[in-house]
Structure 1
Amino acid sequence: MALLLGKGRYRARLARTPQDIAAAQGLRTLAFGTEQVDQDGFDPLCAHILVEDTRAGGQLVCCFRMLTMDQGSEVGRSYSAQFYDLSALEGFTGRMVEMGRFCVHPDWTDPDILRVAWGAMTAYVDENNVEMLFGCSSFAGTETSEYLDAFAMLKHRHLAPKRWLPRVKAPDVFRFAARLRRRPDAKKAMLRMPPLLRTYLMMGGWVSDHAVVDRHMNTLHVFTGLEIGAIPPARKRLLRTVVG
């Protein structure tokens, strides 16, 4: 199966060739602003989803990759496990997918791109009986000051259940759950929340109690999990409308 879905001017499909993977790496390099091509040893292990604009000659406008694990005992081989102690998730018994390197072309701002991307993810989840999605959700830059309301919102409303809570592993972290005492300004918080993370949260996703300061990628990121069975029914219907 190559085509996951088509909706309006956009189509989402699985990468099929080395050229497809190279195109995804090129978009990631552009979107993340890295000096060298954004590629690593996880790329050959992952399935890659490409979202293309059919009205722009098939221009690649969004991509992300997925690493599938049959159960939580495999979580140590994920990209996220480099930064977080995920031993609590080793007891998860269902199939898991790590979604990573999500990016949108900086010249494309159409919100339908994100909808099609999530629709493609929904199709993949349904076809592969996935029970949990997870990954690292990134804030641009490594300064925490402009994101304090967003982090306060995460602390008050969206922390991971204790049974799945990731522990600190990275040497440089911002322990927002322990340090922040402020009540979040909801409007400011949502304005500063990354779009991908905002979508996770709307579907019932949760986050780690600390952010990793990743100076190599020039980001702050939080571990983010989403149990498929916990997605509100109305949200599931909306995602499947996109798929349909």
Structure 2
Amino acid sequence: MVTEILEYDIGERNVASNVLPITAKRNDDVLGRIGKLETRLARNEREVDAAQHVRFRVFVEEMGARLPADTMRRNRDIDAFDAVCDHLLVLDTSIEGDPEDQIVGTYRLLRQETAFAHNGFYSASEFDIAGLIERHPGKRFMELGRSCVLPEYRTKRTVELLWQGNWAYAVRHRMDAMIGCASFPGVQPEAHALALSFLHHSCGAKGDWFAAARPELYHEMDMMPMEAINPRRALFAMPPLIKGYMRIGAVFGSGAVVDHAFNTTDVLVILPVSSIAGRYINYYGSEAQRFNG
């Protein structure tokens, strides 16, 4: 599945940001910069290939994912969606060499119109999202996935840059909602009973935003009653990326899905842009306005 590995979330921050504005021409494709790090979309196939190699290093070499034999031989995490997605990159510009040698993190972005023109959203292989999208005919969805960062770059500033890029991209393309899968490590949902139960009770998607795991893949998240949950411990047990989604304002679909290939337990993230916490809109909004036209 879309194994999302980012070791730090945005956290509670003052609105005063150290994500520096990019004072350049309107067509500058750099979406954010902090020190030696910058974020932008991949510009060519070589950079996409390098991002796929970063994914391989994290998902296969670090986490033990089992990919098809041809991709394993190439040391790349590749699937059919790569050809139609945009690939958000974080680059360490202090590394000598070509840009593809500087890629230290990546996110894969898929807009609704592109998804519907090809094979749909990747999330639909695990979650029933058709009803969710049909209930919002006037809204435009985008999917976030395949996020990963090399171990030595798993810091707050790298995550901030990735979210700066996601936000600028969403504003540029006038997206109304973000969806995607986020992962717990391992294939035993019971090992994450505390965190999954907390998500079910506290952050479950309801009403028009409800969606659930596909019936044949559904694993119950409601494994503990709310009164038995210590919220502080539940948050401590949460993967940082999922905790970061929560702080921004995301809700989560019903049911988890076990992905044996990627050695993960996946949950569906649903993030209406209108629900994003105001402090984060302030945090990223002025930078994103460059792409509003």
> Which moves more between the two structures, 83-92 or 59-68?
83-92
Deviation of the 1:237 alpha carbon: 0.8
Deviation of the 1:208 alpha carbon: 1.1
Deviation of the 1:195 alpha carbon: 2.0
Task: Say whether residues 1:91 and 2:135 are aligned partners.
Answer: yes
Aligned to 1:127: 172
Q: Which runs of 5+ in 2 are unaligned?
A: 1-26, 67-71
| Residues 73/101 of structure 1: CA separation in 2 closer, same or farther (3 Å cut) | closer
Aligned to 1:55: 94
Aligned to 1:181: 225
TM-score of the superposed pair, with normalisation by structure 2: 0.76
| Residues 30/242 of structure 1: CA separation in 2 closer, same or farther (3 Å cut) | farther
The structure showing larger relative contact order (alpha-carbon pairs under 8 Å, at least 6 residues apart) is 2
Q: What is the total number of aligned residue pairs between the two structures?
A: 243
Cα distance in 2 for partners of 1:222, 1:53 equals 30
Aligned to 2:52: 25
2:120 to 52, 57, 77: 77
Secondary structure of the corresponding residue to residue 213 of structure 1: strand
Q: Which amino acid aligns with 1:8?
A: G
1:65 to 108, 117, 141: 108
Cα distance in 2 for partners of 1:85, 1:120 equals 27
> Which moves more between the two structures, 203-212 or 160-169?
160-169
1:14 to 21, 35, 41: 41
Deviation of the 1:162 alpha carbon: 2.7
Structure with higher strand content: 1
Q: Which runs of 5+ in 1 are unaligned?
A: none
Alignment of 1:100-139 (within 5 A): 100-139=145-184
8 Å CA contact 1:66–1:97 kept in 2: the answer is yes
Cα distance in 1 for partners of 2:154, 2:248 equals 22
> Which moves more between the two structures, 11-20 or 228-237?
228-237
8 Å CA contact 1:75–1:86 kept in 2: the answer is no
- CA RMSD, 1 decimal: 2.3
Higher-Rg structure is 2
8 Å CA contact 2:139–2:177 kept in 1: the answer is yes
Cα distance in 2 for partners of 1:73, 1:111 equals 34
Deviation of the 1:142 alpha carbon: 1.0
Aligned to 1:192: 237
Deviation of the 1:39 alpha carbon: 0.7
Aligned to 1:41: 80
Cα distance in 1 for partners of 2:237, 2:117 equals 33
Deviation of the 1:159 alpha carbon: 0.3
TM-score of the superposed pair, with normalisation by structure 1: 0.91
8 Å CA contact 2:187–2:258 kept in 1: the answer is yes
8 Å CA contact 2:89–2:103 kept in 1: the answer is yes
- Residue deviations 1:10-35, cap 9 Å, x none? 10011011111111110111111235
Task: Say whether residues 1:209 and 2:254 are aligned partners.
Answer: yes
Cα distance in 2 for partners of 1:185, 1:195 equals 18
Amino-acid identity (%): 28
